[in-house]
Structure 1
Amino acid sequence: MSVSTEFSMAVLTRPQGRNADLGGALLQRGWQVTECPALEIQPVILHDVQSLATPDSYDLVIFVSVPAVQAYHQHLSQMHPKYVWPKDTHIGCVGQASGQAIREAFGQDLSLFQPDKSADQDSESLWNKLIAHIDSIRRVLIVRGQDGRDWLASRLTEKGVKVDFYVAYCRNPATWSPKNIDMFKTWAQSAKYPVWLLTSAHAIKSSLAQFREHDLVQWAKKCCFILTHPRQETVLIQGLNKLTTCSRTEKSLSMPKILISRPLQEEILSNFEHFRDNHRID
């Protein structure tokens, strides 16, 4: 395989442990892969059974992410080691990875609402699945970090559904390692611009803070970014604009190149290859 030396650096920012499969696939395609988690994910410490919301109290439990599934499963196993998911409690999620994690944690024979693989992996697509069954859903538990899925909660509430939130994990900004900081500064000095994968608004904001702290904002504006939802583009562009001191004309000339990808590995890989094969930094 012929490999471009100008565009063969990938920076993966998913939390620790979530980059291995994609990183391996990129390495096979000749990419230099740097793992640089933007967020640190830690399950909430559960102290007593009274603080655990169990599925049997709800018609539907919605998991916002893979960490939500993993942390909630850990809590259930901690307080109820032999717990079996009740057959009358449905499960919802917005992504294919979350759906796989749900089945691995709670079993294959579950009633699972999730967007089709070909659809956007977001709250709107999940809502389109739920709306046909809304008359049978009276109580919903949304398992999440400190925040998230407020739009979906509002739609459910408008239909008369009682919505509770369960904070299963903490999501905190990560700090770049000294090794990665040195590497990014070397790339900046050498006018080398990697392709970044950012998969949430929280990850974008954390990365922006690191760009600012290490005086890498202007460099970042010449990098390329793969994002996993159209709304993330606004977060990234507005964040970079707030951090820069250049003129309006210079801002418009130096905005990063961005591709929007569904969070499916084959699609993300295709977008990495698109950047390498079709784009060059001026």
Structure 2
Amino acid sequence: MIIITRPSPYGEELLNCLKHAGLSARHIPLFTIEPSISINNLQGKLDTLSEHDMVIAVSPQVINCLEQSAEPIQFPMALNYAAIGQKTAQLLQKKIGQTVIYPSMDENSEALLTLSALQKVAGKRILILRGNNGRELLASILQSRGAQVEYVECYQRRHIDYPAKEIQSWPKRATITMTNIDSLLRLNELVTPSQRSLSKLVVTSPRIANKARQLGWLNVIQVDSANNQILFKMLVTLCHNGRV
């Protein structure tokens, strides 16, 4: 059994791909995504940026929540824009009508930080559009390079409360997709030691993998990004190799 924990709509998207391929899967998100009231402050912050300052979007959820803003947000053309992941970049580029850079290989903060546009940022202001937490490494490294970094909370994660017995009724050898540390920490509170040792955890970054191992998960498999197609290919491969 494959358990998909990522929130809507991307959890359902992956579920449908797996079912179409004839694999047994369930979508059990551990939190919902809701627009943050802080979005109302974004326009004012954008308007104070100077030419060649930068805006970084960290996930498709950022763009989805911006679309729900009561007032359309105008993104200045003179700024530089970056995103973590191709999907996020495509959504942001469509919204603002100009080029958005992103790492072409791994879709994480470490890969983004290797791009040439993020090397010489001393004196620049950078807005990181994110959820209610996360991407501290990205901000820390950019600050160490001399940038003035500020977060804008575009969405909030709200935990979905499941009875522990519901999670503990999962097959002990389930394969669980995990795309963020918040969900990992929540899941870790609910599972049994047996599930932690027997289940396979498919994660999307080195940070999640390292944290999972620290928490006692024994079978951790890392993919390069949270892109659904990459996750799908890995899950199909595991299935064909008899590991799901």
Q: TM-score, normalised by structure 1?
A: 0.75
1:160-216 deviations in whole A, cap 9, x for unaligned? 2211111122123322379x917x51634xxxx2211101111111111221xxxx3
**Alignment-mate amino acid for residue 99 of structure 2:** S
Tell me by how many angstroms 1:36 deviates. 0.6
1:272 aligns with 2:235: yes
Tell me by how many angstroms 1:153 deviates. 1.5
**Alignment-mate amino acid for residue 77 of structure 2:** K
RMSD: 2.7
> Which residue pairs with 1:87 in the alignment?
77
- Structure 1 residues 166 and 33: alpha-carbon distance in aligned structure 2, compared to 1, 3 A threshold: same
Superposition pairs of residues 66-215 of structure 1, within 5 angstroms? 66-75=60-69, 78-79=70-71, 81=72, 83-104=73-94, 106-107=95-96, 109-116=97-104, 119-131=105-117, 134=120, 138-176=124-162, 181=166, 185=169, 187-188=171-172, 193-211=173-191
Q: Is the 8 A contact 1:142 1:163 kept in 2?
A: yes
Q: Is the 8 A contact 2:3 2:175 kept in 1?
A: yes
1:12-64 deviations in whole A, cap 9, x for unaligned? 011122212221111122111211112222211359x5675442323211112
> Which residue pairs with 2:221 in the alignment?
259
Query: What secondary structure is seen at the aligned counterpart in 1 of 2:198?
Result: coil
**Alignment-mate amino acid for residue 62 of structure 1:** I
Query: What secondary structure is seen at the aligned counterpart in 1 of 2:152?
Result: strand
Aligned length: 240
Q: Is the 8 A contact 2:122 2:145 kept in 1?
A: no
Tell me by how many angstroms 1:264 deviates. 2.9
1:128-159 deviations in whole A, cap 9, x for unaligned? 21446635871111111222222222222223
**Alignment-mate amino acid for residue 185 of structure 1:** S
Between the aligned partners of 1:135 and 1:256, the Cα distance in structure 2 is 40
Pick from 214, 220, 223 the counterpart of residue 238 of structure 1: 214
> Which residue pairs with 1:29 in the alignment?
21
**Considering only CA atoms, is the larger Rg found in Structure 1 or Structure 2?**
1
- Structure 1 residues 153 and 130: alpha-carbon distance in aligned structure 2, compared to 1, 3 A threshold: farther
- Structure 1 residues 133 and 93: alpha-carbon distance in aligned structure 2, compared to 1, 3 A threshold: same
- Structure 1 residues 150 and 186: alpha-carbon distance in aligned structure 2, compared to 1, 3 A threshold: closer
Specify every segment of 5 or more residues in structure 1 that has no aligned partner in the other structure, as ranges. Answer: 1-8, 242-254
- Structure 1 residues 237 and 89: alpha-carbon distance in aligned structure 2, compared to 1, 3 A threshold: same
Query: What secondary structure is seen at the aligned counterpart in 2 of 1:152?
Result: helix
Deviates more, 1:196-205 or 1:91-100: 91-100
Tell me by how many angstroms 1:69 deviates. 2.2
Tell me by how many angstroms 1:227 deviates. 0.7
Pick from 20, 28, 42 the counterpart of residue 12 of structure 2: 20
Tell me by how many angstroms 1:222 deviates. 0.7
Between the aligned partners of 2:123 and 2:57, the Cα distance in structure 1 is 16
Between the aligned partners of 2:110 and 2:179, the Cα distance in structure 1 is 17
Q: Is the 8 A contact 1:72 1:143 kept in 2?
A: no
Q: TM-score, normalised by structure 2?
A: 0.85
Between the aligned partners of 2:25 and 2:84, the Cα distance in structure 1 is 27
- Structure 1 residues 44 and 176: alpha-carbon distance in aligned structure 2, compared to 1, 3 A threshold: same
